[in-house]
Chain A
Amino acid sequence: MTEITPEIVAEHGLSPEEYDRIVAAIGREPNLVELGIFSVMWSEHCSYKSSRLHLKKLPTEAPWVICGPGENAGVIDIGDGQAAIFKMESHNHPSYIEPYQGAATGVGGILRDVFTMGARPVANMNALRFGRPDHPKMRHLIAGVVAGIGGYGNCVGVPTVGGETNFHRAYDGNILVNAMTVGVADADRIFYSAATGVGNPIVYVGSKTGRDGIHGATMASADFDEDSEEKRPTVQVGDPFTEKLLIEACLELMATDAIVAIQDMGAAGLTSSSVEMATNGGVGIRLDMDKVPCREEGMTPYEMMLSESQERMLMVLKPGKEEMAKAIFEKWELDFAVIGEVTEGGHMVLTFEGETVCDIPLGPLADEAPEYDRPYVETPRPAPLEDEPDSKDVMADLEAMMGSPALASRRWIWQQYDSQVGANTVQKPGGDAAVVRVHGTTKALGITTDCTPRYCFADPREGGKQAIAETYRNLSAVGARPLAVTNCLNFANPQRPEIMGQFVGCLEGMGEACRALDYPIVSGNVSLYNETRLDDGSSMAILPTPAIGGVGLLDDWEKSASLAFKAADEQIFLVGETPHHLGQSVFLKEVHGREEGPPPPVDLELERRHGEFVRTAIGEGLVSAVHDISDGGLLVALAEMALAGGMGADLHLERLNARNRAAMLFGEDQARYVVTTTDPDALRKSAKENGIALEPLGTTRDDGQITLDGNDSIALDRLRAAHEGFFPTLMEGEL
């Protein structure tokens, strides 16, 4: 038997103190299998040891929450006996090393988290952060990630309905790939992971286990260095075809009453799935490793327990249901093996070739895993902008911004995703939020992902609030009542107090916003150590990126709004205060190369009131087009509406009396929307009754121009060329 040396302990990513803790917990030295199991369960990825303390402070409850964090995904009530099940998860490190497979298996993993709970997946989203567009590796990474997301999602037949993409040099060495899945299930047929019933069979289904992905969770819990590409063998390889079969087979079995508990094998594979099932059920587990279906010969229990081969699930069945279940999986040509049973006593026991190769108490693996209160320093508040540049040529600046990496059309990306399979996609990518009809009903789900990392970097607390508020606004802009969020918290090394300070700050802001908006967090994922050690010994940390996925409900999909101008001669209004805040704006960055100042403050009370006003106006048919104002500010929002509708606008903002035109046109003040209406009197009346600021901005025109105050103007064709040109030029232009 391999002797456990300090080197082996270090290779498993465990500190000497953590090793001592293992020895104390089991009362002896662990063997290699046991050490491997502890190492993945205690990895940052599985144990949340640096984040758990702070995650506990997030609001997770509301009357419509059926299941909050702790299960495979969050579950909310959407009425009529139905539930929406959703979660977002990261696959950052694998996607940097091998972008196609890394992104593809990220999609596969999050899909499994959702259908494990009994839901048919109905929509995928993704939140991507890349480095500088002209970084020598970036084109390869973008192309691979987009093809991987499409390759997997398109094949399994789940529409990819939206997402977001940012660029910043902080992601040059550590891109972020966050994938979100939303599913729909009957509220009384949700499946959980708690194993119960001593003697019940434990069943393995799906693909065979191979040697791929061993130590993936450990890799995901360490900094990157320049040699990271040598870790390519730890990246898993996905097979969306098998996943599609697995979805159908699981849903078919779930329609029977055979399943006691079910869990997908994600990070840390068979180890985490079996430990979580046993721990959640308060039971023990015995697995016969000779029965695990293996892809390769000669695999050891260590390899089987740590493999992250994809498209596998673990289930506890009711006794006597094995044959019926097996017939379903054989129909779908998937492996099916009874590999163990539920036991008493709270231990995990593994046998192989007649010997016990692992016998450890489950408590220390999960519930009693290390939890750290990492020291942190609060991020200093940024100083106000000293000088606020004005715009010398408003339309030239608009054109530059609309064609910039920050704001250019993402069509090149989303056209590679099947956004319509399922035939329920009411609003496709390119709008504020996707709208997906709940099959067979008039209801629809609004879905969005948002985060503004440059705000979070400048002021984590305001940035955290803003990320939540922007999802709330995007859902409101399509007419969906925001119900709950999932999050994917991407940060750098938590052992650095300033990074931990970013984490704590963002979470405080998120928590405050969720409480103020009655908008709980029901699931999520934490990805730490997103930083790259450079040759000179310094370290490049990503911007703090708490990506938020918001889900809302429309009672009637026909009462959803979209951003496109609908017809000429409609009145355009601003909902919200006259803007003035230029700090951390796209204008400042793209036109003046400055990333400075505080981000716009978020007034949560205004967010709520304006959101409610806009949703009501949509429901009552008072508005014809709605768009939230975010990156780029007011004029960018108007330009996006004009381009989407192929319809110009005659704008008159003289009255607003701005001290600085750039701040008025490009300031990113929060809680604002642009709406159009054919009934301005009714809209004014409603705004007045509700005390909502409503400013007339002008009129839609079918002249193919955006004209401002009668002097400045730009042709839509010209704006469109800039807006649509960026990605094709970047991705398909000559090198």
Chain B
Amino acid sequence: MKSAVIVFPGSNCDRDMASAIESVSGRAPEMVWHRDSDLPAGVDFIAIPGGFSYGDYLRSGAMAARSPIIAVVREAAERGTPVLGVCNGFQILTETGLLPGALMRNKSMHFTCRDAALRVENARSVFTHGYDEGETIHVPVAHHDGNYQTDADVLDRIEGEGQVAFRYLDDINGSARGIAGILNAKGNVLGMMPHPERAIEKAHGNMDGRRLFEGLFEKVF
């Protein structure tokens, strides 16, 4: 079993993601630098952490989506390797086209850091099977560009195919249909704005994020 955390210049949740993975799986992930053109051999899970890759310049996630390592992540995703993008990682995944839609500026125009109540919409994926469908969980958000948007046809399609993984119970950022996290069609790529790596242990005040990693590692490793 081997995990990889992709590190871009400006990533700032990379260490938190690594701590979460190590806390749940017992094994520290490999930290992979954005200029690398290969993943470590035998990687079973890839995490793209939050932060401000390349300073969010141009558009959040846009530059990271064109970095050398992303080409390799895309190949791995297409082979079926689970890929989790959190916050800026979600923005990168939409910019690469691995997930549909885009993350726009929050409706309030402000950066927002708070706890978010989420409904688990799909508890069948490799990432979400540790939850019950329809269950309410609490995971913190901290973002400026978390307002998920895409056109109505795509929204209908991803809703219909169970690609909506999590939905906000309150309107936090203006996201279409309250979408907080989505899966790709195959279910092995998850992008989400809330930070499960910040809800891992007692010190975080809630451990709902831990179950995502526990469920994932149970399936993957």
- Which residues on A are within 8 Å of B, measured CB to CB? 147, 150-151, 154-157, 239-242, 244-245, 332-333, 414-424, 426, 437, 557-558
Contact = CB atoms under 8 A, between A and B. Distances in A.
Given A239-B55, A415-B113, A417-B113, A244 B10 contact: yes
Contact of B12 (A157, A239, A242, A557): A157
B9 interface: yes
B203 A424 contact: yes
A173 B20 CA distance: 47
A421 B12 CA distance: 8
B13 A241 contact: no
B204 interface: yes
B112 interface: yes
Interface string B81-125: 000000000000000000000000000001111100000000000
B12 A156 contact: yes
Given A241-B10, A423-B204, A154 B19 contact: no
A422 B110 CA distance: 21
Contacts of B50: 421
A421 B198 CA distance: 8
A494 to B, nearest CB: 38
B142 to A, nearest CB: 4
Given A154-B111, A242-B55, A421-B12, 11 more contacts: A150-B111, A154-B144, A155-B10, A244-B9, A417-B113, A420-B140, A420-B142, A420-B195, A423-B198, A423-B200, A557-B203
Contacts of B200: 423
Contact of B55 (A147, A155, A418): A155
Contacts of A424: 203
Contacts of B16: 421-423
B43 to A, nearest CB: 22
Most chain A CB atoms below 10 A, which of B13, B110, B114, B197: B110
Most chain B CB atoms below 10 A, which of A157, A244, A418, A437: A418
**3 cross-chain pairs, A with B, having the tightest CB-CB distances, nearest first:** A157-B12, A241-B55, A423-B16
A451 to B, nearest CB: 25
Most chain B CB atoms below 10 A, which of A244, A417, A437: A244
Given A155-B56, A240-B55, A418 B9 contact: no
Contacts of B202: 558
Contacts of A417: 111, 113
A123 to B, nearest CB: 14
A558 B205 CA distance: 11
B71 to A, nearest CB: 20
Interface of B: 9-10, 12-13, 15-16, 19-20, 50-52, 54-57, 110-114, 140, 142, 144, 195, 197-198, 200, 202-205
Given A241-B54, A423-B19, A416 B112 contact: yes
Most chain A CB atoms below 10 A, which of B20, B55, B111, B113: B113
Given A241-B57, A426-B203, A416 B111 contact: yes
Contacts of A437: 203
Nearest to B201: A423
B142 A418 contact: yes
A417 B57 CA distance: 19
Contacts of A415: 110, 112-114
A574 B197 CA distance: 39
Contacts of A244: 9-10, 12, 52
A423 B9 CA distance: 20
Contacts of A421: 12-13, 16, 50, 142
Contacts of A240: 52, 55
Nearest to A244: B10
Contacts of A423: 16, 19-20, 197-198, 200, 204
Contacts of B195: 420
A531 to B, nearest CB: 32
Contacts of B51: 157
Contacts of B52: 154-155, 157, 240-241, 244
Given A240-B52, A416-B112, A423-B19, A157 B13 contact: yes
Contacts of A150: 111
Most chain B CB atoms below 10 A, which of A415, A417, A437: A415
Contacts of B113: 414-420
6 contacts: A157-B12, A157-B52, A241-B9, A244-B9, A244-B52, A423-B198
A563 to B, nearest CB: 15
B161 to A, nearest CB: 33
A168 to B, nearest CB: 25
Contact of A420 (B19, B54, B56, B198): B198
A176 B50 CA distance: 32
Contacts of A557: 203
B111 A418 contact: yes
Contacts of B110: 147, 415-416
Nearest to A442: B203
A585 to B, nearest CB: 32
B18 to A, nearest CB: 10
A426 B205 CA distance: 7
Most chain A CB atoms below 10 A, which of B52, B54, B111: B111
Contact of A245 (B9, B13, B114): B9
A240 B197 CA distance: 23
Contacts of A241: 9-10, 52, 54-57
Contacts of A558: 202-203
A430 to B, nearest CB: 11
A157 B113 CA distance: 13
Contacts of B203: 424, 426, 437, 557-558
A333 B67 CA distance: 14
A245 to B, nearest CB: 6
Nearest to B15: A422
A363 B213 CA distance: 60
B185 to A, nearest CB: 32
Nearest to B110: A416
A333 B9 contact: yes
Nearest to B140: A420
Nearest to A157: B12
A420 B203 CA distance: 11
A240 B15 CA distance: 18
Nearest to A426: B203
Contacts of A151: 111
A641 B204 CA distance: 21
Nearest to A242: B55
A423 B110 CA distance: 22
Contacts of A147: 110-111
B212 to A, nearest CB: 15
Contacts of B10: 155, 241, 244-245
A727 B92 CA distance: 34
Contacts of B57: 241
Contacts of A416: 110-113
A332 B140 contact: no
A343 to B, nearest CB: 36
A73 to B, nearest CB: 21
Nearest to B51: A157
A129 to B, nearest CB: 22
Most chain A CB atoms below 10 A, which of B51, B54, B57: B51
A155 B112 CA distance: 13
Nearest to B204: A423
A225 B56 CA distance: 37
A204 B162 CA distance: 54
Nearest to B142: A418
